[in-house]
């Protein structure tokens, strides 16, 4: 087993729950985008009386960064596959966390129009994050999609 990874001390569910929380954040961000992009017919519209109040992107990002900082290190870096399923599931989870984390950041940038510079910074982080994930995880994740496309 790889040093620093002991499944008896770190629960795979901790990473799973963090990923689920990020997907919930994405749901709220999509709703915010829908609200912000709806056509405005009249500035005195009845709907404006019920405008949802959202936290700022900075507040959401600060909370997300804090939650991420509390994760065990095993969920922050997708180490190369070992062939040991107990260890590799943490690598899969780390890859999923990394990609989802960056996706939330991009959605935050879009939801609050953070500007081109901030959006580009988030996009660079996404590219760097993807580059850091071992190819074996990306290939394994893609394999079911390739088989579905061949059917």
pLDDT tens for 28-67 read: 888 877 776 666 555 566 655 566 677 788 888 899 999 9
Contact status, residue 87 vs residue 5, Cβ threshold 8 Å: yes
Whether the per-residue pLDDT at 148 is higher than 60: the answer is no
Confidence class for position 108, pLDDT limits 50, 70, 90: confident
Q: Could you tell me the pTM of the whole model?
A: 0.76
CA distance 151 to 146: 9
pLDDT value, residue 142: 64
> b vs e for 13-41, b when ≥16 Cβ sit within 10 Å of the residue's Cβ?
eebeebbeebeebbeebeebeeeeeeeee
The residue that leads in pLDDT, 13 or 3, is 13
């Amino acid at each position: 087993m790889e040093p620093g990874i002991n499944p008896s001390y770190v629960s795979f569910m901790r990473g799973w729950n963090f990923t689920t929380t990020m997907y919930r954040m994405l749901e709220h961000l999509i709703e915010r985008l829908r609200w912000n992009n709806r056509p405005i017919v009249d500035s005195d519209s009845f709907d404006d009386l019920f405008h949802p109040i959202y936290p700022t992107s900075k507040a959401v990002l600060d909370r997300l960064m804090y939650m991420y900082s509390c994760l065990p290190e095993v969920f922050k870096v997708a180490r190369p596959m070992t062939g040991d399923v107990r260890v590799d599931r943490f690598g899969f989870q780390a890859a999923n966390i990394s990609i989802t984390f960056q996706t939330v950041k991009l959605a935050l940038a879009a939801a609050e129009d953070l500007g081109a510079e901030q959006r580009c910074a988030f996009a660079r982080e996404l590219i760097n994050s993807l580059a850091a994930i071992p190819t074996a995880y990306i290939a394994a994740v893609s394999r079911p999609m390739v088989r579905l496309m061949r059917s």
